[in-house]
Amino acid sequence: DKLLEFPVDMVLLAVGLIPAQGTAELSHMLGVSRDDQGWFSELNYNGNPTDTERGGIFVAGVCQGPKDIPDTVAQAAAVAAGVLRSISSGRVMGNLSNLSLSEIETRARDMHVV
Cα 56 to Cα 65: distance, rounded to the nearest angstrom: 20
Ordered alpha helix ranges (H), 19-94? 23-30, 69-89
Q: What is the pLDDT of residue 99?
A: 61
Summary count for the chain: helices (H), strands (E)? 3, 0
| This prediction's pTM | 0.66
For range 95-103, the mean pLDDT: 65
Contact 35, 88 (CB under 8 A): no
